[in-house]
Amino acid sequence: MLDIKLIRQNPDLVAEQLQKKKFTLNTAEFLTLDAARKQAEADSQSLQAERKQASKKIGELVKQGTPVEEAKKTVNETLAKIETQLEALKQKAQQASDALHNLMMEIPNIPDDDVPAGDDENANKEILSWGKPKKIDFEVRDHVDIGTELGGLDFDLASKLTGSRFAVMSGGMARLHRALTQFMLNTHIVDHGYSEIHVPFIVNAESLRGTGQLPKFADDLFKLEGEQNYYLIPTAEVPVTNIARDRIFEAKEFADGLHFVCHTPCFRSEAGSYGRDTRGMIRQHQFEKVELVKMVRPDQSSDELEKLTLHAEAILQQLELPYRKVILCGGDLGFSALKTYDLEVWLPGQQKYREISSCSNMGDFQARRMMARWRNPETNKPELLHTINGSGLAVGRTLVAVLENYQTADGRVEVPEVLKPYMGGISVL
C-alpha cells in the first residue's frame, strides 16, 4: 500500500508515476473520499465539544431560576439530539474511511525511476545474457515428448486424476525433480547464507492482503470451501513475508535483515491465461518453487535485490543453462513491485527464452499493508522495513530446461554434473 500522505501532498505527481504501470489513479475520487472523511471527523469533534458544553448547562439553568428537573430535561433532550447526530457522523466517517481504504488497496506500487517505460513484455530490456545455446544437430524435442518417451512424465494420467494443467512424474524423472529441489536449497543455505524455513501451504485472507494478492487477484487463487477463510498459497512469498506482519524487529536482530529460503508447492488458477502454454509444464495449476525472501532495512533493499538476483542466477550457471536477465518495463511490472528482474532460461524445444524466476523489490509497499517494522537505533522509533523476493528457482521449469538442454540424439537425457551427487550415481535418464 502506498503512503496516503504521499497522495495527499501531490496526487497529480503520483498519478503521473503510476501511468508508467498503465494504471489510472482516480485522483478526484481519492480527494472526494479523503475530504468526506476529514469533514465527518471534524463535524464529530465539533459535536463532541458541543456535548461537553451542554452537560454543563444544568447548573447554569438552575442559577437562572429554572427548576432542576426541567433543566435536566432540557439538557438531556439536547444531549440526545447530539448523540443521534454523532452516531450518524460516526457511520458517515466509517463509510468514507472504508471506501478510501478499499481504493488504497487497489493502487499498485510506484515504479522505481530506472524502470523502463513500455506497455508489455516486448518493452522489457535485456541486462545481460549468460551462456550460449548448444548447437543440436538432431531433431530437437520439447520436454513433453522427451518425458513421455522416457516414461517419466504422464499428463494423461494427471488429467484422469485431477484435470488439465497437472503432471505425474515417476522414476528417474521424479528423482531428478527432487534432486533439483535439494540442490537449490543446499546452495542457497550453504553458499548464500539463507535460513531455511518450512511454512503452511494454506493461508488466511489477511496474509494474502498483506502481500498484495487480495483483493485485486482473487480470481487467480484457489479458495478452500469450509468455515475458515482459507486459501492455497500461490507462492511461498505469502506465508514467509507475513512472518513480519504486525511485528517490530529490534535493531540488533535486524542488523543484516532476515533472509529466508523456502520450498513449497504453489497453486494458481491461472485465471485469464487460458489458451496460453497449455502444453506441458510451463503453466500449471500446481508446481513447486524454491523461494527466496528478504526483509531488510530501507537503505539495504536496492543492493539486496541485486544480491538475491545473483543467487538465483548462480543456480542456472551451475546447471550450465543459458539464460538472459531482463528488467521489466512499467507495463509488465507486478502490482506490488517497484522493480523486477526476470531471469529467462533458453528452451531448445521452443527456440526461445522463457521466464524461470522473477526477483522483485517491493520497497515498503507490502510492509505498510502488514505493519511490518524494525526499530531504527538512531531514532529508537519503529519504521517500515522493505521486502524482496524471487524464485531461486521454479523447480518444474528448471526441470523442463534440463530435459531440453541436456537431451541426446538417442532420446535420453544427461544429468547435469552438479546434480549427480543427488541422483545416487545415475548420470543418464
Classified as helix, coil or strand, 342 is: strand
Does the annotation place 302 within a ligand binding site? Answer: no
Measuring CA to CA, which residue among 266, 199, 212 is closest to residue 239?
A: 199
DSSP alpha helices (H): ranges in 55-167? 57-63, 68-105, 143-150, 155-161
Is 126 annotated to bind a ligand? Reply is no
269 assigned to a ligand binding site? yes
The Cα–Cα gap between 199 and 264 comes to 8
Tell whether residue 372 is among the known ligand binding residues.
no
CB distance 393 to 136 below 8 Å: no
Beta strands in 138-222 (DSSP E): 153-154, 168-169, 195-196, 202-204
In angstroms, the CA 401 to CA 352 distance is 11
Tell whether 357 is in a known binding site. Answer: yes
Q: How would DSSP label each residue in 323-339?
A: EEEEEPPGGG--SS-SE
- 211 CB-near residues (< 8 Å, 6+ apart): 237, 238, 241, 242, 336, 366, 369, 370
* Residue among 371, 422, 349 at smallest CA distance from 1: 371
Dist CA 41 CA 34 (whole Å): 11
The one-letter amino acid code at 293 reads V
Q: Cell for 72?
A: 435536566
What does 304-323 look like in DSSP terms, one character per residue?
HHHHHHHHHHHHHHHTT--E
Asked if residue 268 belongs to a known ligand binding site, the reply is yes
Q: Is 129 annotated as a binding residue?
A: no
Task: Tell me if 355 is assigned to a ligand binding site.
Answer: yes
391 known member of a binding site:
yes
Place of cell 512469498: 237
**What are the respective helix, strand and coil percentages of the chain, to the nearest 5?**
45, 20, 35
Query: Residues annotated as binding site for L-serine?
Result: 235-237, 268, 291, 389, 391
Query: Residues annotated as binding site for ATP?
Result: 268-270, 355-358
Query: Residues annotated as binding site?
Result: 235-237, 268-270, 291, 355-358, 389, 391
